[in-house]
Amino acid sequence: MRFNSKVIHGGQEPDKAYGAVMPPIYQTSTFAQTSPGNHRGFQYSRSANPTRTALENAMASIENGNYGLAFASGLAAIDAVLKLLNPGDEVISTNDLYGGSYRLFKKIFENYGIVFHFMDMEEVSLVQDQINERTKMIWLETPTNPLMNIIDIEAVSQLATANGLLLAVDNTFATPYLQKPLDLGADIVMHSATKYLGGHSDVVLGALVVKDEELAKRLYFIQNASGAVSGPMDSFLVLRGIKTLHVRMQRHCENAEAIAHFLRKHPKVDTVYWPGFEEHPNHDIAKKQMVNFGGMLSFVPKGSDYKVTLQFVERLKIFTLAESLGGVESLVGHPASMSHGSMSKQERDKAGIADALIRLSVGIEDVDDLIEDLSQALDESLI
Ligand SMILES: *Cc1c(COP(=O)(O)O)cnc(C)c1O
């Protein structure tokens, strides 16, 4: 089955009880047993719930994996992956990654003796220099947040394999519509399904997909033992969101492309970060590993003027100033104070995140309305 059919049918079968076409929301904590241990595959909803299983199967299908796991949030999914490690183990990670992942690594898991190295992975040969006998995992995000750098998943995966390391890829920004990390050699794909997979800004949920059975067993054990599972209603919402993923992504990409070109030509805009530009430093890799360039972009106003940034975001009428991304509605964010506010100024500077940087999650509204909104907000801002 092709991707556009998999999002609708992948891993799904009509409900066994009444043939319901959509999986019912099995809002139950427990399941009747006829005698101890004799049940129909479900015992207790932390271990497994039919609605969650339907979502997990759909996730495995659209990422070309064999096993899916759904969690209460994207961070809960990352938390489960890190619990594969032991004190003393080291992880190499991209440096401009999602602020919450950075906080989880530094403020929680470093206390348990896991060591994190953050680096620019665009130059893959530099990753090799960071590997030592304690390195166990590479954590990679591409496109990176918020600077839209692109990392060559296949090249990093070859390095990981050669050194016996696990490669985990946060595929939240791209979604499997644009890139499939498992096909490129990754061991674990992670999603904040809160974003594009859910797609309607109405649910918080995380997911993992793997191919390897042993790895899946270890993760299922952690999922059940730690217990940060997604509830039936939330699982249902993401399952429903996935069914329109391909249609939404197509429009997100088209709208973002038009906006990227509009901003690049605008006299008050300095740098625009969007991997679809030919002069983007990793444009060729983006073209190689992605089907299109996604719905996210960032830009800095002329003169890196923080005042302009504030005026601009306050003047927008259709773009809503809010955390998060990937919903049908357009959002604007200010990484330095919002998504990346838990990084120090020094850490942000190191990652190249300017104080004036503005991030857009381009929605699927009429693109002319979006451009008019950006245009009026830029025109009326200082400079
Ligand atoms: C939002 C996000 C997360 C965290 O997911 P939650 O669902 O908010 O816990 C992780 N990675 C990326 C890239 C994200 O955008």
Task: State CA 128 to chain mean position distance.
Answer: 25
Cα gap 7→24, rounded to integer Å: 18
Average pLDDT over residues 288-304: 94
> Distance from the CA of 324 to the center of ligand 1, in angstroms?
8
- Residue nearest (by alpha carbon) to ligand 1 atom 4: 74
Question: Could you tell me if 185 and 158 are in contact, meaning their C-beta atoms sit under 8 angstroms apart?
Answer: yes
Ligand 1 proximity of 61 Cβ (cutoff 6 Å): no
How many beta carbons lie within 10 A of that of residue 69, not counting itself?
A: 27
What is the predicted pLDDT for the residue at 281?
Answer: 94
| Domain residue spans of the chain | 3-242, 245-380
Active-site residue flag, 170: yes
Question: Could you tell me if 123 and 77 are in contact, meaning their C-beta atoms sit under 8 angstroms apart?
Answer: no
Q: Is the pLDDT of residue 304 over 80?
A: no
pLDDT in tens, 56-88: 999 999 999 999 999 999 999 999 999 999 999
pTM flag (> 0.85): yes
Q: Which residue has the higher pLDDT, 377 or 340?
A: 377
- Residue nearest (by alpha carbon) to ligand 1 atom 2: 192
How many beta carbons lie within 10 A of that of residue 58, not counting itself?
A: 27
**Which of 93, 96, 101, 203 has most ligand 1 atoms within 8 Å of CB, for mutation?**
101
What is the predicted pLDDT for the residue at 383?
Answer: 65
User: Would you give the end-to-end CA distance of the chain in angstroms?
Assistant: 53
What is the predicted pLDDT for the residue at 349?
Answer: 86
Tokens of 167: 């490669």
Q: Which residue has the tokens 């504030």?
A: 310
Catalytic residue among 79, 96, 170, 187: 170
Active-site residue flag, 98: yes
The confidence band for 95, taking pLDDT boundaries of 50, 70 and 90, is confident
Q: Is the pLDDT of residue 107 over 70?
A: yes
Ligand 1 proximity of 361 Cβ (cutoff 6 Å): no
Ligand 1 proximity of 73 Cβ (cutoff 6 Å): yes
pLDDT in tens, 127-163: 999 999 999 999 999 999 899 999 999 999 999 999 9
Cα gap 241→196, rounded to integer Å: 8
CATH of 245-380, picked from 3.10.20.30, 1.10.10.350, 2.40.10.10, 3.90.1150.10, is 3.90.1150.10
Ligand 1 proximity of 105 Cβ (cutoff 6 Å): no
Omega of the bond leading into 335 within 30 degrees of 0 (cis): no
- Residue nearest (by alpha carbon) to ligand 1 atom 12: 98
Cα gap 351→354, rounded to integer Å: 9
Cα gap 345→361, rounded to integer Å: 23
Cα gap 76→65, rounded to integer Å: 20
**Backbone phi, psi, residue 58, to 5°:** -65, -45
Antiparallel, parallel or unpaired: β 331-333 and 320-321: parallel
Cα gap 97→170, rounded to integer Å: 9
Percentage of residues in the chain having pLDDT higher than 90: 87
Cα gap 379→359, rounded to integer Å: 18
pLDDT in tens, 173-204: 999 999 999 999 999 999 999 999 999 999 99
Comparing 3-242 with 245-380, is the CATH topology the same? no
3-state secondary structure string across the chain: CCHHHHHHHCCCCCCCCCCCCCCCCCCCCECCCCECCECCCCCECCCCCHHHHHHHHHHHHHCCCCEEEEECCHHHHHHHHHCCCCCCCEEEEECCCCHHHHHHHHHHHHHHCCEEEEECCCCHHHHHHHCCCCEEEEEEECCCCCCCCCCCHHHHHHHHHHCCCEEEEECCCCHHHHCCHHHHCCCEEEEECCCCCCCCCCCCCEEEEECCHHHHHHHHHHHHHHCCECCHHHHHHHHHHHCCHHHHHHHHHHHHHHHHHHHHHCCCEEEEECCCCCCCCCHHHHHHHCCCCCCEEEEEEHHHCHHHHHHHHHHCCCCEECCCCCCCCCEEECCCCCCCCCCCHHHHHHHCCCCCCEEEECCCCCHHHHHHHHHHHHHCCCC
User: Of ligand 1's atoms, which has the minimum distance to the CA of residue 173?
Assistant: 13
- The one-letter code for the residue type at 293 is F
Ligand 1 proximity of 296 Cβ (cutoff 6 Å): no
Question: Could you tell me if 355 and 336 are in contact, meaning their C-beta atoms sit under 8 angstroms apart?
Answer: yes
Give the range among 94-98, 222-226, 376-380 with minimum mean pLDDT: 94-98
Q: Which CATH class is domain 3-242?
A: alpha beta
pLDDT in tens, 247-275: 999 999 999 999 999 999 999 999 999 99
The confidence band for 332, taking pLDDT boundaries of 50, 70 and 90, is very high
CA angle 246, 249, 255 (to 5 degrees): 145
- Average pLDDT of every residue of the chain: 95
Cα gap 30→52, rounded to integer Å: 14
